[in-house]
């Protein structure tokens, strides 16, 4: 019989909405992606008696700045065979998301084992966790010209970046910088009509539901990782 795990209560995990990503907080991260012990986070996907020669599973979904983990919880049953990792800089918020997952797993044995949350700084340590071209799907809230090259590095060609905000100026900022980068192209809205991830962007997170209750519009945008430029092509 599985032990009962109490669901976390937000009043014990309150924290400022933003944290300084440039501050050195002594966060732990692997020296290289191959040094990361994914079996510790996803034990159900790393059985001790795995067939020899079978490549280990890799994280395919990443939510950078995952907050309380709402989007990951919503995506988990839709893609039960895909590993999903949330990175959250704020200590109390990351602790809430971790406790939330533990409570869900205890309440539904066998479910949510494909999701994990770590306290981490994606702006500084993203290449320490993920190999080149590792992931096909991501939701990012951290966009800057300097970081787009890192995102292009860890995304495989054809991989998707999902963004959503209720701030029009931020939306325009993200659309402009992705549009100007040679490794990304905008995905037309008609291509996203059957995309379950796109359908959840505005409603699965606590922040999104708060915006909905306030009656404010949200501005989603999705971008596709292009093929690498031909090194022998014309400049």
Pairing of strands 83-88, 115-119: parallel
Identify the pLDDT of residue 235: 43
* Whole-structure pTM value: 0.83
Gap between the Cα atoms of 50 and 22, Å rounded:
40
Identify the pLDDT of residue 222: 96
Gap between the Cα atoms of 219 and 77, Å rounded:
25
Buried-state track 83-110, b at ≥16 Cβ within 10 A, e below 16: bbbbbbbbebbbbbbbbbbebbbeeeee
Gap between the Cα atoms of 28 and 21, Å rounded:
14
Domains identified in the chain and CATH numbers: 31-48+55-225 (3.40.50.150)
Identify the pLDDT of residue 140: 56
Rg of the chain over all Cα atoms, to the nearest angstrom: 18
Identify the pLDDT of residue 75: 96
The alpha carbon of residue 38 and the mean position of all alpha carbons in its chain are separated, in whole angstroms, by 16
Mean pLDDT per block of 10 residues along the chain (235 residues) reads 68 58 67 93 88 85 92 96 94 94 95 96 86 70 76 93 91 92 95 94 86 90 90 54
Identify the pLDDT of residue 1: 44
Gap between the Cα atoms of 56 and 74, Å rounded:
24
Identify the pLDDT of residue 59: 95
Strand, helix or coil for residue 23: coil
Structure tokens at 94: 């990351």
């Amino acid at each position: 019989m599985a032990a009962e795990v109490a669901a976390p209560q937000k009043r014990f995990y309150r924290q400022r909405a933003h944290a300084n990503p440039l501050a050195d907080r002594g966060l732990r991260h692997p020296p290289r992606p191959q040094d990361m012990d994914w079996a510790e986070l996803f034990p159900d996907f790393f059985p001790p008696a795995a067939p020899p020669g079978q490549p280990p599973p890799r994280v395919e979904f990443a939510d950078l700045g995952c907050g309380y983990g709402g989007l990951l919880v919503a995506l988990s049953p839709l893609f039960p065979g895909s590993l999903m990792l949330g990175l959250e800089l704020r200590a109390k918020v990351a602790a809430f998301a971790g406790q939330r997952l533990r409570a869900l797993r205890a309440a539904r044995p066998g479910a949510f084992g494909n999701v994990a949350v770590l306290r981490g700084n994606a702006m500084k340590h993203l290449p320490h966790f993920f190999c080149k071209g590792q992931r096909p799907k991501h939701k990012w809230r951290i966009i800057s010209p300097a970081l787009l090259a890192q995102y292009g590095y860890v995304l495989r060609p054809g991989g998707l970046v999902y963004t959503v905000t209720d701030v029009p100026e931020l939306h325009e900022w993200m659309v402009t910088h992705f549009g100007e980068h040679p490794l990304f192209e905008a995905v037309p809205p008609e291509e996203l009509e059957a995309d379950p991830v796109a359908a959840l962007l505005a409603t699965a997170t606590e922040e999104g539901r708060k915006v909905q209750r306030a009656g404010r519009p949200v501005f989603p945008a999705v971008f596709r990782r292009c093929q690498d430029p031909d090194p022998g092509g014309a400049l």
